[in-house]
Amino acid sequence: MAIELAEPTAVVVAVASEADLVHARQTLRAEAVRAGLGLVDQTKLITAGSELARNILTYATGSRGELRVEQVRSRERVGVRATFSDEGPGIEDLDAAMTDGFSTSGSLGLGLPGSKRLVDEMTVSSAGASGTTVVIVKWRR
Ligand X SMILES: Nc1ncnc2c1ncn2[C@@H]1O[C@H](COP(=O)(O)OP(=O)(O)OP(=O)(O)O)[C@@H](O)[C@H]1O
Residues that bind ligand X (CB under 6 A): 51, 55-56, 58-60, 86, 88-91, 97, 102-105, 107-113, 132
55-94 residues in contact with Mg ion (CB under 5 A) are: 55
In angstroms, give the least distance from the CB of 62 to ligand X: 12
For residue 139, what are the β-bridge partners?
Answer: 79
Which window, 19-27, 64-72, 81-89, 120-128, contacts another protein (CB under 8 A)?
Answer: 19-27
Is 17 within 8 Å of 58 (Cβ atoms)?
no
Q: Which residues contact 46 (CB under 8 A, 6 or more apart)?
A: 25, 28, 29, 32
| Residue span 63-102 as binding mask against another protein, x where in contact by CB under 8 A, dash where not | -------------------------------------x--
- By the 10 Å C-beta count (0-12 exposed, 13-18 middle, 19+ buried), 88 is classed as buried
Closer residue to ligand X in complex, CB, 55/71:
55
Is 30 within 8 Å of 69 (Cβ atoms)?
no
| Residues belonging to the chain | 141
Q: Which residues contact 107 (CB under 8 A, 6 or more apart)?
A: none
Binding-site ranges for another protein (CB under 8 A): 18-19, 21-22, 25-26, 29, 39-40, 42-44, 46-48, 50-51, 54, 100, 108, 110-111, 113-115, 117-118
